[in-house]
Amino acid sequence: MRGAQITGWGAALPEKVVTNHDLSTTLDTTHDWIVERTGIHERRVGGSTSGLAIEAGRLAMEKAGWEPSTVDLVILATTTPDQQVPASASTVQNELGLTCGAFDLNAVCSGFAYSLITAHGFIQVGLSRILVIGADTLSRITDWDDRGTAILFADGAGAVALEAVEGPGELLGWDLGSDGSLRHILDADIGGYLNMDGKEVFRRAVRVMVSSGKAAIERAGLTPDDVDLVIPHQANIRIIESACNKLGIPLDKAVSVLHRTGNTSAASIPLALADAADSGRLQPGAIVLLVGFGAGMTWASAVIRWNP
Ligand code: UT7
């Protein structure tokens, strides 16, 4: 039997900070409204998807002690590649000095959780070291005159180094899903801006976080009481509160960095994971539920044991 565990992690955010006060100078909104309805205080904007992915990926490789020549694959979860062609993963592979396969995966805000599960499949069929990155520059596809979306979306990247181990490894349970009949509630045409029915996304998000999180926990042979830490997609603190409440997991077990990052799509879960790991909140042996949702709709959950 061949499994995997996370042995390194890294995060990257652009330097430029955009506060709610900054937004209120150009939009009909206020700092207090944004904080009360979303939990977001500020966000980072700028850079390129591959540039942020390279920075986060390099940190994850350093933490894991990986030489570039030993990496077997790069999976880059992103909705905002730098170009239509090629995949931004090819830029990341080249700039990090890797000599391996590389591809982009688009499952929007669920992309990192999808990629982590996908990477475990590659480990099963023989690869040993996979760099899994979530990176997005949503600011490029956000209409900064639309207060319904401009207050939420931002840029960033997070990465993990996933390494094969003998035995079952640390992925204990997982769940993936998509309901393409809901494509219209959050979309962007090629070359266009994000369009969102915020209320509907909110309602559906809570529902799928609960059903998918529960499915992954059950498949791990665990109950919500066994979960030590939840690392959810960072979209809105009220979505996280409501989902934790319905899952029966206390809110103080949920990691949230969205007050300073906003919604960074595929980057949001690995950014929160890196924060929890660096701050010592993630302790060896901890049972961790990663749960993502996003446009599609898509959703993905993974229960892992933290054992870096
Ligand atoms: O990765 C997934 C991405 N998307 C999401 O997760 C989004 C999920 N949805 C949400 O986070 C929330 O629906 C929003 C934050 C987008 C909106 O919050 P809400 O509590 O659902 O507000 P609402 O749309 O019900 O609007 C309430 C009021 C309305 O005014 P009236 O009709 O009550 O007079 C809006 O016009 O707030 C108004 N409003 C705003 N006011 C100040 C809407 N947006 C703003 C704004 N600033 N930015």
pLDDT score for 3? 96
Q: What is the pLDDT of residues 70-102, one digit of tens each?
A: 999 999 999 999 999 999 999 999 999 999 999
279 and 193 in one domain? yes
DSSP H or E stretch at residue 83: none
Nearest to 63 by CA among 165, 136, 159, 171: 159
Burial label for 85, CB within 10 Å (0-12, 13-18, 19+), is exposed
Q: How far is the CA of 52 from the centre of ligand 1 (A)?
A: 29
Q: How far is the CA of 37 from the centre of ligand 1 (A)?
A: 7
pLDDT score for 227? 98
CATH number of the domain that 76 lies in? 3.40.47.10
Q: Where are the beta strands (DSSP E) in 33-72?
A: 42-44
Nearest to 229 by CA among 247, 210, 249: 249
Indicate if 233 belongs to the active site. Answer: yes
226 and 269 in one domain? yes
Q: What is the pLDDT of residues 215-267, one digit of tens each?
A: 999 999 999 999 999 999 999 999 999 999 999 999 999 999 999 999 999 99
176 and 91 in one domain? no
Sequence length of the chain is 308
DSSP H or E stretch at residue 79: none
Examine the pLDDT at 197 and tell me if it is beyond 90. yes
**Looking at 20, 109, 120, 236, which residue is catalytic?**
109
Final residue of a structural domain among 136, 151, 166 = 166
Q: Residue 308 — very low, low, confident or very high, per pLDDT cuts 50/70/90?
A: confident
Pocket test for ligand 1, best of 18, 34, 37 (most atoms within 8 A of CB): 37
282 and 232 in one domain? yes
Domain that holds residue 184: 171-305
Any ligand 1 atom below 6 A from CB of 147: yes
Final residue of a structural domain among 166, 199, 220 = 166
* Order of all β-strands in the sheet with 129-137: 2-12, 155-166, 129-137, 73-77, 101-105
Decide the pairing of beta strands 73-77 and 129-137: parallel
299 and 255 in one domain? yes
Q: Residue 171 — very low, low, confident or very high, per pLDDT cuts 50/70/90?
A: very high
177 and 46 in one domain? no
Final residue of a structural domain among 144, 166, 188 = 166
| Average pLDDT, rounded, for the chain | 98
21 and 161 in one domain? yes
70 and 54 in one domain? yes
Examine the pLDDT at 146 and tell me if it is beyond 90. yes
Atom of ligand 1 nearest to the CA of 268: 1
| Structural domains in the chain (count) | 2
86 and 198 in one domain? no
pLDDT score for 1? 82
Span 268-283, mean pLDDT?
A: 98
pLDDT score for 5? 97
| Angle between helical axes of 111-124 and 268-278 (0-180°, round to 10) | 80
141 and 123 in one domain? yes
Query: Ligand 1, atom 9: nearest CA belongs to which residue?
Result: 198
pLDDT score for 79? 98
152 and 271 in one domain? no
202 and 153 in one domain? no
